[in-house]
Amino acid sequence: MMIKFFIPNRLHGEKIIFLLRRHPMILLAKLINWALISVLPLIFYWLLSDSISRIFPGTIFMPLVILFTSLFYLYIWLFAFASYVDYYLDVWIVTNQRIIDIEQKGLFSRVVAEQKIDRIQDVTSEIKGFFSTMLDYGNVYVQTAGEKERFVFKQVPAPYQVAKKIGKIIEQNQRKNQAKK
Amino acid sequence: MAIPISIFYYIYLIFVAIFLIFTFFNVYHLLRFGFLSLGNIAVTFFYITITILILSVSWGYLNQIDWQQTFSIIPQLP
CA-nearest of A147, A13, A176, A89 to B30 is A89
Q: Tell me what pLDDT residue A151 has.
A: 83
Give the number of other Cβ atoms within 10 Å of residue A112's Cβ.
12
Residues of B with CB below 8 A from A70's CB? 12, 54-55, 57-58, 61-62
Comparing CB atoms, the residue among A5, A75, A77 nearest residue B34 is: A5
Res. B74: pLDDT tops 70: no
Give the number of other Cβ atoms within 10 Å of residue B51's Cβ.
18
Please list the ranges in chain A whose pLDDT falls under 50: 1-3
> Any CB–CB contact under 8 A between B43 and chain A?
yes
The Cα angle at residue A33 between residues A32 and A37, in degrees rounded to 5: 115
A37: helix, coil or strand?
Answer: helix
- Selected residue with higher pLDDT from B67 and B77: B67
Residue of chain A nearest B6, judged by CA positions: A63
> Any CB–CB contact under 8 A between B53 and chain A?
no
- Residues A67, B34: C-beta atoms closer than 8 Å: no
Q: Tell me what pLDDT residue B75 has.
A: 59
Q: What is the complex's ipTM, to 2 decimals?
A: 0.88
Q: Tell me what pLDDT residue A1 has.
A: 44
pTM as predicted: 0.84
Structure confidence by residue, pLDDT tens digits, A28-37:
999 999 999 9
User: CA-CA distance, A99 to A173, in Å (whole number)?
Assistant: 13
Residues of B with CB below 8 A from A67's CB? 8-9, 11-12, 62
User: CA-CA distance, A27 to A16, in Å (whole number)?
Assistant: 24
- Do A16 and A93 form a contact (C-beta atoms < 8 A)? yes
A165: helix, coil or strand?
Answer: helix
A129: helix, coil or strand?
Answer: coil
How many Cα atoms within 13 Å fall on the side-chain side of residue A22?
A: 21
The Cα angle at residue A168 between residues A165 and A173, in degrees rounded to 5: 130
A19: helix, coil or strand?
Answer: strand
- Do A2 and A100 form a contact (C-beta atoms < 8 A)? no
Comparing CB atoms, the residue among A66, A89, A107 nearest residue B25 is: A107
Structure confidence by residue, pLDDT tens digits, B1-21:
778 888 999 999 999 999 999
Q: Tell me what pLDDT residue A3 has.
A: 47
